[in-house]
């Protein structure tokens, strides 16, 4: 029906995207159809798995591929959910510019609302959050700041508001305030990948590279498929002279995202680092040591 070979099915089974079966129900076939469409768009199986696991964590869904509508978001997935588009790894709401282009989901029970208890009620918080996002989009930064501050007064643990507010201050070059907000987000939600990534960015701007590396490493630990974190971590390692660690993360980035100018830059860095490594190995011997009399072997110093 879908032209799927045994190897592809086994790969999806190993990735945990489908359960091993000898017979497939209608729902199973619907899930396979979605996976086929994602494969046609070259979305890596590892990225699909990361996004699905993250969506389960933030929404309570058993099977996000069937209970929400799937949208490609770079190398990851976003999900249309409760009238909004959600990036579950970054735990952010996204602007939904094309409601008609999503991968259609099969009929399923209404999705559960995102779990984020608030004294003011989740509806009020979400409405204020969307108002802040709209203010940002129209260039009203001061208006957005005021609304995000209001949200944090209503719910001090609303990590997404802290992140977005921190990003406004980051672009205003008020790095100390941005750092404060990003750190607040990591405490409010220790599993919030974007909080650590953005914290790494502001620490890098402040020249605190060792702390920046620690933040990026935390982001990668929480989400090994987070390409941007690997990229920035590779840059930070290069700047501190830790070229072997940099090489590791350049390779990880290319494995996750192998297209476009950033992937080409990563491949160039890999070639340069490998070339330097070879030169370093060759240059270790300060001088040639002649073999002892009667021995044919060469000795390296």
Quick one: fold of 116-218? Answer: 1.25.40
Q: Residue 152: what pLDDT?
A: 93
For residue 230, what are its two tokens? Answer: 């690997």
CB-CB neighbours of 7 under 10 Å? 8
| SS3 (DSSP) at 76 | strand
Model-level pTM greater than 0.85? no
60: which strand partners? none
Per residue in 154-203, pLDDT (tens digit) is: 989 888 889 889 999 999 999 999 999 999 999 998 888 888 999 999 99
For residue 289, what are its two tokens? Answer: 């040591």
Q: Residue 3: what pLDDT?
A: 72
CB contact at 8 A, 68 and 58: no
Per residue in 80-89, pLDDT (tens digit) is: 765 567 777 7
Per residue in 219-253, pLDDT (tens digit) is: 999 888 788 889 999 999 999 999 999 999 999 99
Radius of gyration of the chain (CA): 24
Structural domain spans, the chain: 6-101, 116-218, 224-283
For 142-207, the DSSP string reads HHHHHHHHHHHHH-TT-HHHHHHHHHHHHHTT-HHHHHHHHHHHHHH-TT-HHHHHHHHHHHHHTT
For 128-142, the DSSP string reads HHHHHHHHHHTT-HH
């Amino acid at each position: 029906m879908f032209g799927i070979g045994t190897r592809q099915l086994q790969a999806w089974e190993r990735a945990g995207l489908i359960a091993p079966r000898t017979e497939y129900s209608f729902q199973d076939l619907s899930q396979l159809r979605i996976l086929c469409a994602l494969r046609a768009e070259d979305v890596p199986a590892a990225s699909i798995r990361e996004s699905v696991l993250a969506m389960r964590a933030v929404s309570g869904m058993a099977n996000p591929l069937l209970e929400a509508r799937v949208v490609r978001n770079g190398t990851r997935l976003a999900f249309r959910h409760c009238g909004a588009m959600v990036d579950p790894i970054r735990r952010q709401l996204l602007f939904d510019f094309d409601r008609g282009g999503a991968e259609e989901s099969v009929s399923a029970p209404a999705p559960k609302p995102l779990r984020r208890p608030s004294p003011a009620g989740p509806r009020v918080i979400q409405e204020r959050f969307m108002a802040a996002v709209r203010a940002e989009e129209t260039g009203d930064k001061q208006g957005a700041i005021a609304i995000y501050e209001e949200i944090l007064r209503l719910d001090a643990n609303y990590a997404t508001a802290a992140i977005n507010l921190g990003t406004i201050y980051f672009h205003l070059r008020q790095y100390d305030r941005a750092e404060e907000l990003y750190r607040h987000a990591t405490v409010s939600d220790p599993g919030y990948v974007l909080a650590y990534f953005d914290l790494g960015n502001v620490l890098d701007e402040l020249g605190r590279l060792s702390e920046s590396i620690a933040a990026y490493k935390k982001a990668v630990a929480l989400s090994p498929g987070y390409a941007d974190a690997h990229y920035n971590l590779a840059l930070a390692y290069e700047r501190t002279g830790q070229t072997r660690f940099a090489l590791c993360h350049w390779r990880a980035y290319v494995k996750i995202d192998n297209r476009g100018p950033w992937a080409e830059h990563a491949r160039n860095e890999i070639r340069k680092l490998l070339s330097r490594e070879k030169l370093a190995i060759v240059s270790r011997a300060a001088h040639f040591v002649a073999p002892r009399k009667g021995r044919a072997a060469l000795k390296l110093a």
